[in-house]
Amino acid sequence: MKIAISGKGGVGKTTISAFLIKALDGMGRKVLAIDADPSPHLARVLGFENASGIRPIAEMQELLQERSERNGPFYKLNPKVDDLPEKFMQQKGNIRLMVVGAIQQGGAGCACADNAVLRSLLNMLLLSPDEDIVLDMEAGVEHLGRGTIATVDHLLVVVQPYRGSLETAKKIQKLAEDLGLNHLEFVANNVSDEEDLQFIVSELGRQPVAVFYASKDVQRAERASRPLPEACPKCLEAARELVEGLEKKE
């Protein structure tokens, strides 16, 4: 099963990704976790060793230039990337982690060339036949415009009970419809009570596929740089139920 996590910045995409990854791991599954956020934190919240020392592929300018064979405005559309997972993949038990990152800005007109490398790498990783995949995407809607996630089985849009989050979610839904993606679901995060949940439902016009309630334990674990999935058994159970619900939809 291939799951992509999207949503407005700050809604908890990485947190939900971490719980899903750990839930799959707890079910005895092999998991490929892909961090494609410009500010990647998935290694830290999952408790990988030396998380702060893991350098995203997107920041390896020499490597990106070499693989794209960038020469002025010209670059290779199908760069070689098949050896990169072996060189840069992290592993913890049944969880493999690839920190791809994302290009935040392009210097000297290199953004397109660099993105060609990252896009080729993502596409190759998403073809992995032997693992469940959880893809923590960059915030917003840009990745949908590029069609990056057209091959996933489920697109989960994380929302919180505030208007800005929900407006971005509806934009993502519209773009997904334009791309012909019919497997989008909403996940409610940081919900305090029934009033929060009903506000989300009224704005989106549908029930979220899963609800993660606000947790002081998760907040404390994040502040202490401890693995988030260990801090909230109820959140982990919600993630497991989410996985089971998504499987029934396939």
Is residue 29 in a domain?
Answer: yes
How many distinct structural domains can be found in the chain? 1
Report whether pLDDT(115) > 90.
Answer: no
Boundaries of domain holding 170: 2-51+95-102+129-249
Burial class (CB in 10 A: 0-12, 13-18, 19+), 244: exposed
User: Which residues, 6 or more positions from 26, have their beta carbon under 8 angstroms from its beta carbon?
Assistant: 236, 240
- Provide the pLDDT for residue 89: 95
As a whole number, the mean pLDDT across the chain is: 91
- Provide the pLDDT for residue 41: 93
Is residue 62 in a domain?
Answer: no
Place of tokens 């719980």: 19
Q: What does the pLDDT average to over 9-30? A: 96
Q: What's the pTM?
A: 0.92
More confident residue, 128 or 217: 217
Report whether pLDDT(105) > 70.
Answer: no
Is residue 111 in a domain?
Answer: no
Report whether pLDDT(145) > 80.
Answer: no
Length of the chain measured in residues: 250
- Provide the pLDDT for residue 33: 97
- Provide the pLDDT for residue 247: 93
- Provide the pLDDT for residue 146: 65
Q: What does the pLDDT average to over 51-80? A: 88
226-240 pLDDT per residue, tens: 999 999 999 999 999
**Strands of 154-159's sheet in order across:** 90-92, 95-99, 31-35, 132-136, 2-7, 154-159, 184-191, 210-213
167-223 pLDDT per residue, tens: 999 999 998 888 888 899 999 999 999 999 999 999 999 999 999 999 999 999 999
The model's confidence at residue 107, banded by pLDDT at 50, 70 and 90, is: very low
- Provide the pLDDT for residue 229: 93
CATH number at residue 33: 3.40.50.300
Give me the DSSP letters along 164-190: HHHHHHHHHHHHHHHTT---EEEEEEE
H/E element, 228: none
- Provide the pLDDT for residue 159: 98
- Residues above pLDDT 90, as percent of the chain: 70
Is residue 112 in a domain?
Answer: no
- Provide the pLDDT for residue 179: 83
- Provide the pLDDT for residue 108: 44
Cα–Cα distance between 174 and 166 in angstroms, integer?
A: 12
Is residue 89 in a domain?
Answer: no
Is residue 68 in a domain?
Answer: no
Beta strands 184-191; 132-136: pairing state:
unpaired
Is residue 122 in a domain?
Answer: no
203-215 pLDDT per residue, tens: 999 999 999 999 9
Is residue 117 in a domain?
Answer: no
The model's confidence at residue 25, banded by pLDDT at 50, 70 and 90, is: very high
